[in-house]
Structure 1
């Protein structure tokens, strides 16, 4: 094989497909979108004996009868209808502990007459259940290579790669005989279709007859297929039902000759016993709250030390640069623009990495899926269902992929409601804002010696966003007039120990994404802010300089206080100071000064820009450039000498960021998902109104 080999991974959800993809590709991965649709396309490279090969991880699906948008992506690739993705070999990943269900999809792929290799995962779990699989007999029955693998422990991967290469070289050929007699399902229709496309298998012909309207075929071909359907009275529903029944009948025979299963009345496994506790109708919710509290407490506790080191180091570095470099605009740009902006980025890397690491552990262990199951009843009471929980939980990381993941929800109304409320989940971009504000206004004390007040406040902010999302969904369901029935069917994965390599890879990649992607925005805005806060109209700047010189000439002058007043006067007379003073009347009822008002505007590009804006504004206003940002904010005073960051202002600001949209990228994604500017504009208006009202109430009650 001289050409680059293209390998597609397919399989049922929770079959181990992602584990195999990560095992084969390692860090050689990238994520994009399939052409024309907002569905993640994960690709990567792996090494075979003949050279490099591209791995394409297709969305999970239970059969070749798609219902959701992501299932349609896999379906179009497998039916040869995607011009950009043309796999040479398809690896069908099957869960050995649920083989009967997984074989349905595998046998459908085999009957398409495409090169298929079956990779059996979770053999260790099958063995625990007492299931014994005769791989040689299973391979004879299916007519394609069957390889047992364990991606988590790197077992069976060389054998799988060898089977892939041999299949690509034609050493393994598709079975001549169909798994079931597909032609007998609709003989006349299939025969007529084969006159149009003789290269399509009998089973492929059935799918063209059922879904040709969704394929990119020329008008003449579409008309011919429709004529075949009418002439032969082709019934898609009846054909599909008969096919599934025949497949399961044949699969039952295969299970009898190649699989040995234990008595179904044997005692329940560890997973079932643990589910009795974690999914309990009362204790399950308390356990969930406990898990979330521990998660947020760990984010504070584990990240506090590296954050203090980074904060102190940045402050010391800025002070050192100011002392050794000459006083000019270039030094000011370096210290107050670039270094301050970088400090506002890297200080939160530990928290971002730890949060994503802990979320990955929850996913790997299988507990995340239980959260969907546990909350289904609550979700239905507000117009959603359990499937809405996964996008909402994903929203704790980032609203953009969370909104995109709502495509897994078949019901249009529930999908739209989920998209509308998902940005209310506190994403990782809000985490820097919460962290610095909680550190400013919430005491670092413990209840009972181990329950941290700061961790409780953090948990409360996340819960407030979640509860408000439920309220908004309950109200919105009466205004969205789409009537569709929905069903919640979820396969609960077995509990497993987390893959620590995967956890650390995720922590590294998410931290890198934050620094690179968010960092670009923060740095650009920090530099623009430095320019706008360092320069202003000549008259105002001249007046501030004259006042400064006069004050210095006084025999009783306090030089330190005069320098401080001069820095603040220049900042207030700069372009950003003038803009801030203009919007101050709007934000003053919320307890904010003009600097916070500027931060609210700049952070609309990305919420985490709030901290970068504060770092730049307080750096420009501090001629000595000494002390961490938190200390500068703690010492900030109003004109009357009272502190700015009181408990009332801090809580008001936290609530504003809980509810406000403050993310242009999310609005763009919602527009693309809903194909209309109507819904993102509704989001922007209702979330801004909620944020302003909640912040005003909190400040008025606590001031």
Structure 2
């Protein structure tokens, strides 16, 4: 085996393709700035779809190189090597190895972290051997200089034989020079970095002959990757499978030998092209900090402390803006009702505004939650949590990378389930997807907040420990425990021979970029408002209609019955109005629906009104609060009351407060376990390509919710 390189250029290929608009693929290691470069090149001219046959996101965009020349940019998933380990990485080889494919690129731009060039050049040398015209974009060159890394660009260009552009993609530095190069004819290196060993020539030549390809390294990858290449027919796969078996092709051993050879070449190259003038202070600081934050005892205690801070902040810091929003919505409702009347005004105040208030009031808490998650990711602490939890997670059938979806599930299960793609092992990935919805997402916060406020006093211990915050944290911990115990159960049930490995790069600790944190807060809050908000308001309006009208003459008979009862009880006019509204609500369409499921939920302590909320919550969990607000605003003496005050006035048939600790905690546990999110079910179907998994989740989580809600109600009664 030999490793050689040459700066000479013999092949000359234009970036413009004869078959239409030229295609430029962006490839690079994770965190190399590839997405920033994509955004700089394409601006707003972006589209998001899926690669053919897989659920991996495909980001494409157009870029104007000049007034007359435009190219298509394809942003490929981040990868460390052309030997893929995850579903995301496999789409890269499908695109780069199929020369007849519609998306085969005319040019590859490889983004590399200039401060860690040795690791990034492994991927570049592999891509160079595929004989696709390439540009090496040395991103984050400013960071490299700050860390004392000096790169001799001309020497690197001479050694590699391809254009090398120093740049800072976040600030747009180097973009103009890159576009000029993209518009010109580009070369490929004539001599491969890695030469295929003579012992493998029979396999390589047979593959080249069958598939009509001329590149030795590409043929070698067919032998390595044939089981993963979707463009190969069943006959092609069988042919290569028999070929490698006959010749004793040992893929894992050969990959390791190739990697060693490439790093030998890279080390020699960097001796001349890169100089490090001083040891990185940040890395020393990170290493010292890791001794504490990833300690086998203190590390877990610190992590629990961070979680405690997050949940305390959600209640304590958000209380003032929540009160202002709540009072503002109530004041607006009162102002409208004082000056106008009629069915449309009732629809506006009791339906639209009541539902809108149920959305707006929780924006501060959701913004704080997402802010903390963004800070943990920006500082590099989230990667440490993943590392620490790996050993524990493996005992329950998961691995360290499962922590990312589980923690992300605290925000929203939909992106959390999608993030499980980075888990290479099929069994670990399926288990992670299955249990992630058990983590309490931000949609549950409105439910928890209202019910905790009803039955848990706002008591402080030691002057700063909020009892309501402690209860909220306990709910999240119960969800986490349920998730890992469910994972252990699945570990026993699912059978798979595939072994699981955990490899993750730990970035140095950095101060968070506050602009990014702010953008995350705004974007996620907007998503909640406009995505969940639309559903909540729409359902609130529908509920108001269902609760305000009934079939036939049911409403008239309900009114007559209430008048008769009021005469016997000698009720005042106000009490009579409330009694009429109560009877009419029970005879409404909403009441009929609620009563139909009341026998099933009565053992949990719920009545038909809560039954309505449970049904509507299947669209989205957070709809529960808007539903309760809408239902209980009908028939009240004063509609201008906050959600909490409305629910505090509700009584049962004996005249006792309805929302007792037993019922409230039972409802919290029900919503903690229940799979009440259509979007999550849809994304699980999309990621697993089967209805079996989402349906199994639905049955399993609904069963857990019912059983533990029943136990909770009995325990507190």
Q: Paired residue for 1:535, among 540, 549, 561?
A: 549
Deviations 1:481-533 (A, max 9, x none): 22332222221111112222222222222222222222232233223222221
1:318 aligns with 2:333: yes
Deviations 1:206-255 (A, max 9, x none): 22343345241467766876787689776645553443232122111111
SS in 2 for 1:61: coil
* Cα distance, 1:621–1:240 mapped onto 2, change above 3 Å: same
Superposition map of 1:383-394 within 5 A: 383-394=397-408
* Cα distance, 1:458–1:89 mapped onto 2, change above 3 Å: farther
1:573 aligns with 2:587: yes
Verify the 8 A CA contact 1:382 1:470 in the aligned structure 2: yes
- Find the counterpart in structure 2 of residue 626 from structure 1: 640
SS in 2 for 1:91: strand
Q: Paired residue for 2:123, among 100, 105, 113?
A: 105
* Cα distance, 1:560–1:133 mapped onto 2, change above 3 Å: same
- Find the counterpart in structure 1 of residue 75 from structure 2: 57
Give the TM-score normalised by the residue count of structure 1. Answer: 0.90
Gaps of 5+ in 1: none
- Find the counterpart in structure 2 of residue 472 from structure 1: 486
- Find the counterpart in structure 1 of residue 323 from structure 2: 308
1:146 aligns with 2:164: yes
Q: Paired residue for 2:27, among 10, 24, 42?
A: 10
1:662 aligns with 2:676: yes
Shift of residue 274, structure 1, vs aligned partner: 0.9
1:68 aligns with 2:83: no
Deviations 1:342-366 (A, max 9, x none): 2222322232222222211111111
Verify the 8 A CA contact 2:94 2:231 in the aligned structure 1: no
- Find the counterpart in structure 2 of residue 338 from structure 1: 352
SS in 2 for 1:269: helix
* Cα distance, 1:86–1:623 mapped onto 2, change above 3 Å: farther
Distance 2:237 2:426 in 1: 28
Distance 2:581 2:159 in 1: 82
Aligned residue pair count: 698
Shift of residue 386, structure 1, vs aligned partner: 1.0
Verify the 8 A CA contact 1:593 1:644 in the aligned structure 2: no
Superposition map of 1:257-272 within 5 A: 257-261=272-276, 269-272=284-287
SS in 1 for 2:112: strand
Superposition map of 1:561-600 within 5 A: 561-600=575-614
Shift of residue 655, structure 1, vs aligned partner: 1.3
- Find the counterpart in structure 2 of residue 415 from structure 1: 429
- Find the counterpart in structure 2 of residue 683 from structure 1: 697
Gaps of 5+ in 2: 1-15
- Find the counterpart in structure 2 of residue 294 from structure 1: 309
* Cα distance, 1:181–1:511 mapped onto 2, change above 3 Å: same
* Cα distance, 1:276–1:693 mapped onto 2, change above 3 Å: same
- Find the counterpart in structure 2 of residue 283 from structure 1: 298
Deviations 1:441-500 (A, max 9, x none): 222232222222222222111111001112222233222222332222221111112222
Distance 1:686 1:84 in 2: 43
Distance 1:443 1:390 in 2: 33
- Find the counterpart in structure 2 of residue 41 from structure 1: 58
SS in 2 for 1:538: coil
* Cα distance, 1:367–1:675 mapped onto 2, change above 3 Å: same
Q: Paired residue for 1:460, among 469, 474, 479?
A: 474
Q: Paired residue for 2:134, among 96, 113, 116?
A: 116
Shift of residue 541, structure 1, vs aligned partner: 1.1
Distance 1:443 1:31 in 2: 47
* Cα distance, 1:70–1:172 mapped onto 2, change above 3 Å: same
* Cα distance, 1:361–1:265 mapped onto 2, change above 3 Å: closer
Distance 1:290 1:407 in 2: 29
- Find the counterpart in structure 2 of residue 523 from structure 1: 537
Shift of residue 596, structure 1, vs aligned partner: 1.5
CA RMSD of the aligned region, Å?
A: 3.2
Shift of residue 393, structure 1, vs aligned partner: 1.1
Deviations 1:304-346 (A, max 9, x none): 2332222222222223333333323x33332222222222223
Shift of residue 205, structure 1, vs aligned partner: 2.7
1:162 aligns with 2:177: yes
- Find the counterpart in structure 2 of residue 502 from structure 1: 516
- Find the counterpart in structure 1 of residue 394 from structure 2: 380
1:447 aligns with 2:461: yes
1:363 aligns with 2:381: no
* Cα distance, 1:43–1:304 mapped onto 2, change above 3 Å: farther
Shift of residue 651, structure 1, vs aligned partner: 1.7
Distance 2:542 2:408 in 1: 32
Distance 2:391 2:547 in 1: 52
Shift of residue 281, structure 1, vs aligned partner: 0.8
Distance 1:53 1:568 in 2: 66
* Cα distance, 1:227–1:577 mapped onto 2, change above 3 Å: closer
Distance 1:555 1:663 in 2: 45
Give the TM-score normalised by the residue count of structure 2. Answer: 0.89
Shift of residue 48, structure 1, vs aligned partner: 5.5
Q: Paired residue for 1:273, among 268, 272, 288?
A: 288
Verify the 8 A CA contact 1:183 1:202 in the aligned structure 2: no
SS in 1 for 2:574: helix
Verify the 8 A CA contact 1:7 1:54 in the aligned structure 2: yes
Verify the 8 A CA contact 2:562 2:580 in the aligned structure 1: yes
Distance 1:27 1:431 in 2: 34
SS in 2 for 1:173: strand
SS in 1 for 2:159: helix
SS in 1 for 2:493: coil
Shift of residue 599, structure 1, vs aligned partner: 0.9
SS in 1 for 2:442: coil
